[in-house]
Amino acid sequence: MEYGNSKLDFKKYTKQIWLAGLGAFSKAEEEGSKLFETLVQTGSELEAKSKEISNYDTNEISKKTKSSVIETKDKIEKLVEYGIYQSLSKMGLVTVKDLQKLEKMILELHQKIDIILEENNEIKNNIQQK
């Protein structure tokens, strides 16, 4: 399973389920309560099966996402440090503007990491609530 686009995939999958549910509800109104009862029964069976899977997947996704974020953060920090070192070596000096630009980039990276962690927690909470 690829985790790079998991949030986008999850949103897309959730939207598809929602739209399928709306379509099914519309069909149920058109074709009567018998179809509706069949859909409710099928949905209940699917929900029972998916709860078992989602509990496992939630924990695994959370662990892998956290690990991936930490690894990415470490790699970014190393790349930034190396980039700074290389720049200083080539230029022989550093300006205040250069330092401010680097500081801004680091702050943006930290903000993005915080957003990823928050989104991961939201996804985890949403899955656990279902």
**Residues 7, 13, 16, 20: is their CA dihedral positive or negative?**
negative
Return the pLDDT at 107.
93
For residue 2, name the pLDDT band (cuts at 50, 70, 90): very low
Residue 64 per-residue DSSP state: H
CA atoms within 13 A on the CB side of 128: 11
Share of the chain above pLDDT 70, in %: 68
Cα angle, residue 69 at apex, residues 14 and 111 outer, rounded to 5°: 90
Q: For residue 9, which phi and psi values (nearest 5 degrees)?
A: -65, -40
pLDDT of 88 reads 63
pLDDT, tens digit, for every residue of 28-56? 566 666 666 777 788 787 777 777 666 66
Please give the model's pTM, rounded to 2 decimal places.
0.28
